[in-house]
Amino acid sequence: METTSSSRVGAQPAEAAAPGDAPAQEQQTAPQDDAQPQEATASVPVARRTAEGYLRAEFPWYGLDGAFTGPRWLMQVGVGADGTVEHGSTGHGDEPSARGEIATGEKERFAVVVTVASNPLRRSGDGTGVLEATSVSSAAWLAGSGLLAYSWPGQMDHSLRSDWLDQQTEAAWELADDLGGEDWSTLSLPVDGEPTPFHYRESEFGWVLAGSTGSGVHLGAYGRGMSAYGLGFSVIADLAAYEG
């Protein structure tokens, strides 16, 4: 029976959005082996996002803890071939767009928290193989590719961005698969009030971190304009706080 690496969870990161658009509505996509993230094409107003997909998950969702007092909003969930919710994201602060800072000159301040279910065994998207267990690398991969979805290098033409995104996404995958490498440092942040180690890296587009919790999930996060060093994470007690 074929075994496939699991760090690349799902067919596309739940965070991807079309250039200049707000994050898309919840959608269900089956995992595909070695799939690259695609930019979502749909744009959905904040007020139409609901917690329905999140409520189907069998694991707790995480967000920034009570020390964060700014806006909170839902993004998307990712599901497996059997319809099981595998991961999803919640946003905090300004809702980012790929060209927001370049187009308006205003610096966006946001942090997105990615929750990934800890699964010991998963079927491949085509049903012919078995995927390895999700890991911290899975969370790092989703966070890294999510940040890229909201990044647009200066002086880059729209027609060139797809090729750039493909290249950078592959680089993000390689980085996520080497969390012990020199590109990562260690950062301790509170999770449910307990100090927890995270793998952390910065780039010109923002920061990415990934770690695990004691409640059976892996956490990833990415952001821009907000320092990661002062963040804390906790289980979301009421998703209504994130609904538009």
pLDDT 10s digits, 40-61? 333 344 444 689 999 999 999 9
Structure tokens that stand for 70 in this block: 């700014």
DSSP state string for 7-24: SS-SSS-TT---TTPPPP
Three-class SS state of 64:
strand
Q: How far apart are CA 5 and CA 60, in angstroms?
A: 24
- Angle between helix 136-149 and helix 158-176 axes, rounded to 10 deg: 160
Give the pLDDT of residue 112.
97
Structure tokens that stand for 211 in this block: 């770690």
On whether the CB atoms of residues 114 and 89 are closer than 8 A, the answer is yes
Question: pLDDT: is 166 or 238 the higher one?
Answer: 238
On whether the CB atoms of residues 218 and 211 are closer than 8 A, the answer is yes
Out of 17-26, 164-173, 191-200, which region has the weakest mean confidence (pLDDT)? 17-26
For residue 32, pLDDT over 80 is answered with no
For residue 109, pLDDT over 70 is answered with yes
Q: How far apart are CA 141 and CA 173, in angstroms?
A: 6
Q: How far apart are CA 162 and CA 16, in angstroms?
A: 13
Give the pLDDT of residue 148.
86
- Give the confidence band of 75 by pLDDT, cuts at 50, 70, 90: very high
Give the pLDDT of residue 143.
96
Q: How far apart are CA 118 and CA 115, in angstroms?
A: 9
- Give the confidence band of 107 by pLDDT, cuts at 50, 70, 90: confident
10 Å Cβ neighbour count for 63? 24
What tens digit of pLDDT does each residue of 180-228 get? 999 999 999 999 999 999 999 998 889 999 999 988 899 999 999 999 9
pTM score of the predicted model: 0.76
Percent of the chain with pLDDT over 70: 66
Of 25-39, 160-174, 211-225, give the range with the top mean pLDDT: 211-225
For residue 229, pLDDT over 80 is answered with yes
Question: pLDDT: is 164 or 166 the higher one?
Answer: 166
- Runs of H (alpha helix) within the chain: 52-55, 100-104, 136-149, 158-176
Q: How far apart are CA 136 and CA 167, in angstroms?
A: 22
On whether the CB atoms of residues 82 and 56 are closer than 8 A, the answer is no
Report angle CA 89, 93, 95 to the nearest 5 degrees: 70
